């Protein structure tokens, strides 16, 4: 892992508000959230059910809009900063193709395509292709080299999710958003996928932001950002399963912000 003294953001939210419904049915899913996600780090978003985790991730990824505040995808010198919250649909489509990767709970592989073609599909749609060296490195690291000609139904859930991770990593997006990526996996397969996400951050500087309910999954991250009732509620640096369980318990009991640890 590289040591670094300054926090360089890959994406950030600034006083973001997202309201669903009106009148008595109004829910402030995000109620003034300001948070930044560090480049080259693996960050988990946690909080009680209904605390706004998915809403925040969707806003950061440009999958859903916000009512006020700003969401920014930060450039890196090569690429420009983009205000996601003010971007047109055309710009957002381009960002999702070139600069943002996704890993979902449901693997979302195309059933008629082999692992190789699933992994390559987003780049093919964008009219580009990875170098053979990078393709071999990513699929090798994910343990997929012997599976590349298999169809999804010929692979286990863990292998399918590793294909989905390879597909997200290959274009080297600014940020990969992972939404409960181990929710459909047994603990062994989940551990493999989480190790891959962690090593992609540590070894290749890939920024990963993951929503999870699972303290074990969160313990693979470098930092946990906590939400409660649509507001930031503290964070945990270098989380362990135990510190996450303790902090979540306190959050569920009090619903209040906890001190950064």
DSSP state of 153: G
Among 12, 55, 159, 212, binds ligand ATP (CB under 6 A): 55
Site for ligand ATP contains 52 (CB under 6 A): yes
Site for ligand ATP contains 218 (CB under 6 A): no
Distance, CA of 27 to CA of 19 (rounded, Å): 6
Site for ligand ATP contains 29 (CB under 6 A): yes
Extended strands (E) in 26-76: 27-38, 42-46, 68-73
Distances (CA, A) of 155 to 32, 245, 252: 43, 33, 38
* Shortest CB 100 distance to ligand ATP, Å: 18
Site for ligand ATP contains 46 (CB under 6 A): no
Beta bridge partners of 209: 43, 177
Among 32, 54, 91, 137, binds ligand ATP (CB under 6 A): 54
Query: Of 49 and 132, which CB lies nearer to ligand ATP in the complex structure?
Result: 49
* Shortest CB 51 distance to ligand ATP, Å: 4
Site for ligand ATP contains 51 (CB under 6 A): yes
Under 8 Å CB-to-CB from 212, ≥6 apart: which residues? 44, 45, 46, 180, 181, 182, 218
* Shortest CB 19 distance to ligand ATP, Å: 9
Beta bridge partners of 35: 13
Distance, CA of 85 to CA of 71 (rounded, Å): 5
The bridge status of strand 223-228 relative to strand 207-211 is unpaired
**Contact (CB, 8 A) for 42 and 51:** no
Residue 56: count other Cβ atoms within 10 Å of its Cβ: 28
Stretch that binds ligand ATP, among 42-50, 71-79, 157-165, 232-240 (CB under 6 A): 42-50
Among 50, 94, 143, 183, binds ligand ATP (CB under 6 A): 50
Among 17, 27, 36, 63, binds ligand ATP (CB under 6 A): 27
Site for ligand ATP contains 7 (CB under 6 A): no
Stretch that binds ligand ATP, among 50-58, 117-125, 133-141, 156-164 (CB under 6 A): 50-58
Give contact residues for ligand ATP (rule: CB under 6 A).
20-21, 27, 29, 47, 49-55
């Amino acid at each position: 892992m590289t040591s670094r003294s300054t926090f360089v953001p890959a994406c950030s939210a600034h006083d973001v508000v997202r309201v669903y419904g009106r009148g008595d049915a109004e829910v402030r899913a995000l109620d003034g959230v300001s948070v930044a996600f560090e480049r080259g780090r693996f960050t988990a978003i946690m909080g009680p059910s209904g605390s706004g985790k998915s809403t925040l991730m969707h806003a950061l990824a440009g999958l859903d809009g916000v009512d006020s505040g700003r969401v920014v995808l930060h450039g890196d010198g090569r690429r420009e900063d983009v205000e996601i919250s003010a971007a047109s649909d055309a710009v957002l489509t381009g960002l999702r193709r070139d600069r943002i990767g996704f890993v979902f709970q449901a693997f979302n592989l195309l059933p008629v395509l082999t692992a190789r073609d699933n992994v390559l599909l987003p780049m093919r749609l964008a009219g580009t292709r990875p170098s053979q060296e990078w393709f071999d490195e990513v699929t090798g690291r994910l343990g997929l080299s012997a599976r590349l000609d298999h169809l999804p139904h010929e692979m286990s859930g863990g292998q399918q999710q590793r294909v989905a991770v390879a597909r997200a990593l290959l274009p080297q997006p600014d940020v990969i958003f992972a939404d409960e990526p181990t929710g459909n996996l047994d603990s062994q397969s989940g551990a493999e996928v989480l190790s891959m996400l962690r090593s992609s951050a540590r070894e290749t500087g890939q920024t990963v932001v993951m929503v999870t309910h699972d303290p074990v999954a969160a313990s693979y991250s470098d930092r946990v950002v906590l939400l409660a009732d649509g507001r930031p509620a503290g964070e945990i640096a270098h989380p362990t399963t135990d510190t996450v369980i303790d902090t979540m318990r306190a959050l569920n009991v009090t619903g209040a912000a906890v001190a950064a640890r």
